[in-house]
Amino acid sequence: MNKYRLLEEKANAIRKNIITMLNKSGSGHPGGSLSAVEILTALYFSEMKVDSKNPNWDKRDRFVLSKGHAAPVLYATLAEKGFFPKEELLKLRQVNSMLQGHPDMKGTPGVDMSTGSLGQGFSASCGMALANKLDRNEIRTYVLLGDGEVQEGIVWETAMAASHYKLDNLVAILDFNGLQIDGSNDSVMSVQPLADKFKAFGWNVIEIDGHDYGEIIKAFNAAKTIKERPTMTLAYTIKGKGISFMEDKSGWHGKAPNEEETKVALAELEVV
């Protein structure tokens, strides 16, 4: 028996919705959305305390999508969780839609922080975690970053602050797919050795396969045992995961699939 079958089914539905909504909108970011599907599926269907019927529940865990351009994976996950009707996904990036190109906490149920400028979501998550720690709330904050995003200086200011304030209620996940819009991270601006860097900043570091539910959930559980240090989970992933012609291709960072590509992608997902 596959104990992660339910999560796999949710992930497959999320991937289908990502492809469909991006094709409908004609613009958006498939590569980094698809690489993060298992991470968000594990968060929303296994890990976090959230209530889709009460999105503003004050005891909920918080999630911040710091790499805000990957909004399709967050929207598809929230819809699958029941925060809003799935029909809304087909209005992605349309004028007056609740689902814009980057997350909007004022317009979209389930979105805890508006993000877009790389690095700022990470700093906001630090503030959330600090506030809940000062208030002695049993609330955990999870934040997803992109690997190209850590080229931003604000990321390292946040890393220093989170360690200084001993934010053991903060769990960062870094979607490490190795690619950004202009090519590989190594060719644009090397970010390695990331594990050593975050350790030097005082973080607990866990390295995992970002598509393996067993490793993802084990990492989240391990983070709960760490005291007085934030946790950075380096999740090694494949950009465009699940769609053969998108996998490990930087060209699919910010390009929507056309009708034929959408048909091929959805057909591949039907046999998963």
Q: How many Å apart are CA 142 and CA 232, to the nearest integer?
A: 10
Statement: residue 271 has pLDDT above 80: no
Q: How many Å apart are CA 11 and CA 14, to the nearest integer?
A: 5
**Both ends of the chain: CA-CA distance in Å?**
17
Q: How many Å apart are CA 266 and CA 18, to the nearest integer?
A: 10
Ramachandran class of 82: left when φ > 0, alpha when ψ lies in -120 to 50, beta otherwise: left
Q: Which CATH superfamily is domain 5-270 in?
A: Thiamin diphosphate (ThDP)-binding fold, Pyr/PP domains (3.40.50.970)
Fill in the amino acid letter for 249.
K
Q: How many Å apart are CA 251 and CA 245, to the nearest integer?
A: 10
The C-alpha angle with vertex 238 and arms to 233 and 241, in degrees rounded to 5, equals 120
Task: Say how many residues make up the chain.
Answer: 272
Question: How many CB atoms are located within 10 Å of the residue 64 CB?
Answer: 30
Per-residue pLDDT of 154-211, as tens digits, reads 999 999 999 999 999 999 999 999 998 888 888 899 999 999 999 999 999 999 999 9
Q: How many Å apart are CA 60 and CA 56, to the nearest integer?
A: 8
Structure tokens at 267: 């057909």
Instruction: Give the count of alpha carbons within 13 A of 96, CB side only.
Output: 0
pLDDT of residue 183: 84
Ramachandran class of 111: left when φ > 0, alpha when ψ lies in -120 to 50, beta otherwise: beta
Q: How many Å apart are CA 83 and CA 159, to the nearest integer?
A: 31
Ramachandran class of 103: left when φ > 0, alpha when ψ lies in -120 to 50, beta otherwise: beta
Q: What is the pTM of this model?
A: 0.96
3-state secondary structure of 142: strand
Segments making up each domain of the chain, as ranges: 5-270
Per-residue pLDDT of 68-87, as tens digits, reads 999 999 999 999 999 999 99
pLDDT of residue 251: 92
